[in-house]
Amino acid sequence: MKLIAEIEGENASVELKRDGERAVAEVGGRRYELEVREPEAGAYLLLHEGRVYECRVSGEAAAGAGAEVRVGDHSYQVHLSDPKRLRGAGAAAGHEGGRAQILAPMPGKVVRALVEQGQSVEVGDGLVVVEAMKMQNELKSPKAGTVAELHAQVGATVKAGEVLVVVE
């Protein structure tokens, strides 16, 4: 499972694989092999390289609402989002007066622009392709309309949340 984690305002790519009590997590390019135990709901024991970490989660991070995650004495605000859902939905929060802003779901590189400014598009039409973490993500139009602004330039590096296309 590949996700984007916003932790205390900083974005990191996260890939999780779990098989029973064994888990492999890659966070921002760093790999962690863990043993995971859940003695009670919302409480986890993480075993990593002979050390045990107690982790408590309150809230709904998986639902995108955000959660407080406590590891030992440290507390973190965490929001998780699925880049696959982002690219299909466009930027629902980016609708302003009939305009839809299509945002980069994570840092990456624009590899293709599938539309031109002024072009008509339908719901679900591909607009731009961004490569991130060696995967290409096609960002689609969340509404029918016209491409009012095209900020994505092939070969350009983009930041998470950067406006790539505006559809009116």
Q: What stretch of H or E contains 144?
A: none
The answer on pLDDT for 141 being more than 80 is: yes
- pTM of the predicted protein model: 0.46
| Each residue's pLDDT tens digit, 9-63 | 777 788 889 888 899 988 878 899 999 998 888 888 999 999 999 999 886 544 4
Q: Which CATH number covers residue 49?
A: 3.30.700.30
Q: How many domains does the chain divide into?
A: 2
Q: Which of 48, 81, 114 is the last residue of a domain?
A: 81
DSSP single-letter state for residue 99: B
CB distance 155 to 113 below 8 Å: no
- Average pLDDT over the chain, rounded to whole? 82
Helix (H, G, I), strand (E, B) or coil at 97: coil
CA 79 vs. chain centroid, Å, equals 9
CB distance 39 to 45 below 8 Å: yes
- β-strands 10-19, 22-27 pairing: antiparallel
Specify the range with the lowest mean pLDDT, choosing from 13-17, 89-93, 152-156, 161-165.
89-93
What's the domain range around 112?
89-167
